[in-house]
Structure 1
Amino acid sequence: MKTLILAEHNGIELNPTVLQSVTAAQFWEAPIEIFVVGSNINAVAQQAASIVGVSRILQIDAEHLAPQLAEDVAELIASIGVEYQVILSTHSSYSRNILPRAAALLDVDVISDALEIHADNTYVRAIYSGNVNATIQSKDAIQILTVHGNNFVAANSNNSQVEIAKIAVQATQYQSRWVSEARFESARPALSSAKVVVSGGGSLGSAAGFDHLLSPLADKLGAALGASRAAIEAGFASSDILVGQSGIVVAPDLYIAVGISGAIQHTHGMKDSKVIVAINQDPDAPIFQVADYWLVGDLFKVVPELTATLQ
């Protein structure tokens, strides 16, 4: 049997987490195929074909698949699912929207955000906001799962190209339809894969305070910006940079938390960072319990001084 990886991409290039998916898939020691869906995605398929350890690329390229609606992609996966022992992807909003649908169509369960793979059908995943690790065994004939990407080393790429099999499909009508998309363009690195992340919380007081205090620091460090739920709900930042259990899970080399108290839901999304620096005026803030370095002080004095020091 074979292993199938659902490839996340933006229509131009693969998401780097696909490389982590390949490493996770190598556990089964079976041929690995990558499933690339979209429109005008030859370049993406070629990138996937250069990943070491992959045996074949399945490319489904059609105009109606440009938005990669979950209904479309899930049905395509389900249509070929019986050919595979394992279907997986790294855990993200993209994969958790698609793979549970595919699992339902195939009448199997889905294992979400697996931290470790212990056997062909045994996994470890976090529960209770990351406070407990549970070992789960699946008896389904087809194992469908998302993996915690940062727990797996990225696979390498080279100049070789494996076979790219192009599959033709017909458009299908669903109750949902694509209307439009408004993209937010940023010169900063993507939050999910950034090496440095600067995140702000509700203590920043306003959207202007969030931007004026954190943006210069992030620019100096070449960092991505993140935010706690308190900052999002207060309207200080957009929801697409939410770090936490219900947002984006990050594990950068350096995570700087500014004015974030440290609710469990937030720390679950950043606790795997290599170095955590917390700046807060409350000496009893829970964030200090997971921080490697911390500073108690007035954010509006400390952060500008830190930024100036980096010049």
Structure 2
Amino acid sequence: MTILVIAEHDNARLKSSTLNTIGAAALIATLAEGDIHVLVAGHNVKAVSEAAARIAGVSKVLLADAAFPEGDLAENIAATVTALQGAYGYILTPATVYGKNIAPRIAARLDVAQISDVTSIVSADTFERPIYAGNAIATVKSHDPVKVITVRTTAFNAASEEGGGAVQENVASIDAGLSSRIVRREVTKLDRPELSSARRVVSGGRGVGSPENYAKVLEPLADTLGAAMGASRAAVDAGFAPNDYQVGQTGKIVAPELYVAVGISGAIQHLAGMKDSRVVVAINKDPEAPIFSVADYGLVGDLFSVVPELVEALNNKVVHQV
């Protein structure tokens, strides 16, 4: 049964979340004995389609290159996908803001249940997903003819960006006829790795005290480690960091090799977004802080003295090794 993966991109290049979603699709394809197709929808996205065609394991890329700027609006992508439906038994999107905006619309149009935030493929019709902020795992079996799935990208290996030779096919981009229009696009350019795919993350919580402290204390540590910067919801709500830095149940789900939590108490909603990290380092002055329950290494102390000392020690080690 053929699987359709909806590619996440920025109209210029594929996001890493797409590769992880194709990794999940490859597991389903093995069990369901199907091919993997990728839909690239947007405006002037030929380069993205060509990149998708090179991904290992993909047999066909469907290019819905709209003549209108709103080609990548969720409403129009949902209309485009449902116009294609009939050949697909599975429709997958990454469980990112992008994918979560599209998948429910497709499921509603097809009158099927959405299977959200899948972390494991048990069989062709059975999947595992976390519930209760990750404190329990639900096993879900779907009898729907079409399975609309959002994939937790941190749970699956990424497909290789090279090695494939998929056929590219043009398909019609459907205008849903809604009143939504794109007024402008603003691209955030970062000097650091992207949070959702970074190998190292430094996050700050309410304990950093102010936006000035967040930058003054955490940026040197992130620079030294070559890390992305994150934040708890409390820090974001307090204005210490922008919304796209938020890690947690209502933010981004990350699973880096190293996660450094500074001044974060460890509310269950935050833990749900980072507890799958390979190594967790917690710095907090409260020895009873819940963050220590998931930390591999914990340091009880004043972050305003501990973090600068850590940065100095790391820099001295780097200089010594060089």
- Aligned 1:40-79 pairs, distance under 5 A: 40-65=44-69, 68-79=72-83
In the alignment, the residues of structure 2 paired with residue 298 and residue 8 of structure 1 have an alpha-carbon distance, to the nearest angstrom, of 41
- Aligned 1:176-255 pairs, distance under 5 A: 176-255=180-259
Consecutive unaligned residues of structure 1, counting only runs of 5 or more, are none
Task: Indicate conservation of the 8 Å contact 1:111/1:144, yes or no.
Answer: yes
Deviation at 1:176, TM superposition (A): 2.1
Partner of 2:319: none
Matched, 1:38 2:68: no
Deviation at 1:41, TM superposition (A): 1.3
Matched, 1:166 2:163: no
Deviation at 1:310, TM superposition (A): 2.0
User: RMSD value over aligned CA atoms?
Assistant: 1.3
Q: Deviations over 1:187-234 (max 9, x none)?
A: 111100000000000010100001111111111111110000110111
Partner of 2:7: 7
Range with bigger deviation, 269-278 or 180-189: 180-189
Partner of 1:122: 126
Query: What SS does the corresponding residue of 1:269 show, helix, strand or coil?
Result: helix
In the alignment, the residues of structure 2 paired with residue 100 and residue 65 of structure 1 have an alpha-carbon distance, to the nearest angstrom, of 22
Deviation at 1:84, TM superposition (A): 0.2
Deviation at 1:67, TM superposition (A): 6.3
Range with bigger deviation, 202-211 or 162-171: 162-171
Moved over 3 A (4+): 168-172
Partner of 2:320: none
How many positions carry a matched residue from both structures?
Answer: 311
In the alignment, the residues of structure 1 paired with residue 41 and residue 171 of structure 2 have an alpha-carbon distance, to the nearest angstrom, of 10
Range with bigger deviation, 223-232 or 144-153: 144-153
Partner of 2:20: 20
Range with bigger deviation, 284-293 or 63-72: 63-72
Matched, 1:143 2:108: no
Under a length normalisation based on structure 2, what TM-score does the superposition of the two structures give?
A: 0.93
In the alignment, the residues of structure 2 paired with residue 170 and residue 271 of structure 1 have an alpha-carbon distance, to the nearest angstrom, of 40
Query: What SS does the corresponding residue of 2:254 show, helix, strand or coil?
Result: coil
In the alignment, the residues of structure 2 paired with residue 155 and residue 171 of structure 1 have an alpha-carbon distance, to the nearest angstrom, of 31
Partner of 1:86: 90
* Distance change (3 Å), C-alpha of 1:133 and 1:159: closer
In the alignment, the residues of structure 2 paired with residue 44 and residue 135 of structure 1 have an alpha-carbon distance, to the nearest angstrom, of 35
Q: How high is the sequence identity, in percent, across the aligned residues? A: 48
Query: What SS does the corresponding residue of 2:148 show, helix, strand or coil?
Result: strand
In the alignment, the residues of structure 2 paired with residue 80 and residue 102 of structure 1 have an alpha-carbon distance, to the nearest angstrom, of 11
Deviation at 1:63, TM superposition (A): 3.7
